[in-house]
Each structure stands twice: as structure tokens, then as C-alpha cells.
Amino acid sequence: MGGRAGGGCGTPGGASGTTGPGGVANGGTGGAAAVGGGAKNPAAGSEATVSGGSDNIANGSFATVLGGFENFAEGDYSLAAGRLARANAQGSFVWADSQDFPFSTNTQNLFRVRATGGIGLVTAIDSSGNVTKNCFINTSANLSCDGTINGGSDRASKENFTTVDDRRVLQKVAALPIEEWNYKSEGRAVHHIGPMAQDFAQAFAVGADDKHIAMVDADGVALAAIKGLYAMLRERDRHIAELEAREKETSLQLSRMEARHRDEMRALATRLETPRTGEAAARMQTPLATRRLAGQLRSAQP
């Protein structure tokens, strides 16, 4: 059984079950392939589809080109759309914007998008259709979301646990250069503060490479440094408390010594001033210097 062509100038039918319903110079040559329309759109893969557009090719089995211009779906089960999208690998999905440059992938089962105006994901609208919740990746590759970004941290998903020396991390943080800077893509108007990925990787040896800093690593380093600082402060507080206790004990000992000294002074003054039995006459003969000393001792008592 021959292929079927629905119509259009120069649009042939190909292998058995192939459909080329219209357009210009389209060709459905793969088994059960289909071309919806457009111009110069061959669907050579088995059960491949080109919906329309111009100069698109669906060579992979079960491959699809939605339309656009010069999009190639070469891999089996691949999909290409937009302009100059190249879905070269099996199961790949390539969506390219209007830029006049090829945009491709050779990685299987990869979804790749070129959107030089940004990418928006809308998750909620109000009763008038206005966006109320969304995530947006702008042209500087900055991700902004109306909600939170949750990173996986389930213990069951992790392995190879080791203990972290919090104080050592604190020392490294203290030595880590922290600068204010801007991304070249954002210009001088937008400022940021933080370390360089190279310095961070050298200091802590974490992360996939030395060009990025994972949020989980930055958070972990910060928390470890805080714990290290807290331990140092607790140790300092204990040391201060010990010094205060020693000072209090020393002050108490000094007070006791002063009290004992006063008692001794009083006793000495009493002995010098009080006549002994049978010595009244002798007291009258006590040298003037001794009596003066007793007076001084008495006046020195609080």
C-alpha cells in the first residue's frame, strides 16, 4: 500500500500509512509518519510528526516537531520546537526561542529550554486572572519565588557522615575573604555581599565545583561557625565566673585579715592603757612614748 498525501503543492505521500495532508514540499516518508502542513518539513522517522512550520525535520522514531523554523527532532521519542532547536538525543525535549542560533542537546532524556527573556512558572491567579503566585528566572539567571525554596535534607537520603570541628570552621570563616560585588550581567546598580566560590571551595572542600556555592553548604558553614562561636563564649563566661569567684574569695580573706588586725590593735591598746594589779604606781612611771603609742592605736581603731 502506498503512502497518502492530503494535498498541497509538492507534498508527497511516503511509506505505507504515511500522511502529508498539505503545505509545500513536505514529505512524510517514515512508516506511519505525518506532516500537518507548512513547507519543506520531512518526517522521515517511523511514526514521526511535523505539525507545521518550515524546514523542520523529524528523523527519530516517534519524534515530534511542533512547528517553527529549522527545528530537528533527531532522537527517538524526542521533541523540538521554536527556532533552530536540535533534539539530537533519545527522549530529549528542546525548546528554543527566536534567537538566530542553534540550540541543541546530545544528552538523553534532557529537557532544555532557551528563553532569553526569562522563564516564569505561575502557580496561582486571582478571580480576575492576575498572577498571585509564581517563580521567575530572569535574564541574569536569578530565581525569584513568591514562596520558599526547600532543599532536601532528609537523613535517609545521606551517607558518609563525619563530625565537624565547629571551632575550626569558625577560624576558616574568620579568614575567608568577604567582599561586596555585582554580577556582570546585572551591572553596578545591584550589589551583593559574599565570598568567591574558589575561596569557599579551597577553605571547606565542599560542593560540586569551585564555580558555585550550594545553599546547603553556605548554611552548614554558617551554622557550624555559630556553634563554634557559642562554645567559645560559653568557655569565656566560665572563665570570667571563675575569676569573679576567686576575686570574691580574695576579698573575703582580706576582710577577715582586716578584722583580725583590728582586734589585735584593740587588744594591744587595751594592754597599754590598763594598769595591772599592784602596778598602779608603776603605771604612773610609764614612759611618755608608750602612752602616746596607746593613744595612736586607740585613735586608729574604727
Consecutive 10-residue averages of pLDDT for the chain (302 residues): 44 52 67 91 94 96 96 98 98 98 97 97 96 94 92 95 97 98 93 97 97 96 98 96 95 93 87 62 56 63 56
pLDDT at residue 271 in the model: 81
pLDDT at residue 83 in the model: 98
Interatomic CA distance for residues 115 and 182, integer angstroms: 23
Domain ranges across the chain: 1-116, 219-300
pLDDT at residue 4 in the model: 42
pLDDT at residue 266 in the model: 87
> Tell me: the pLDDT tens digits for 99-135?
999 999 999 999 999 999 999 999 999 999 999 999 9
pLDDT at residue 31 in the model: 84
What is the helix (H) or strand (E) element at residue 19, kind and residue range? strand 19-20
pLDDT at residue 7 in the model: 47
pLDDT at residue 39 in the model: 93
Q: Which CATH number fits domain 1-116: 1.10.8, 2.60.40, 2.150.10, 1.10.10?
A: 2.150.10
pLDDT at residue 5 in the model: 42
CA triple 235-237-238, angle to 5 deg: 65
Interatomic CA distance for residues 252 and 237, integer angstroms: 22
Q: Cell numbers of 144, please?
A: 525569584
CA triple 64-69-71, angle to 5 deg: 40
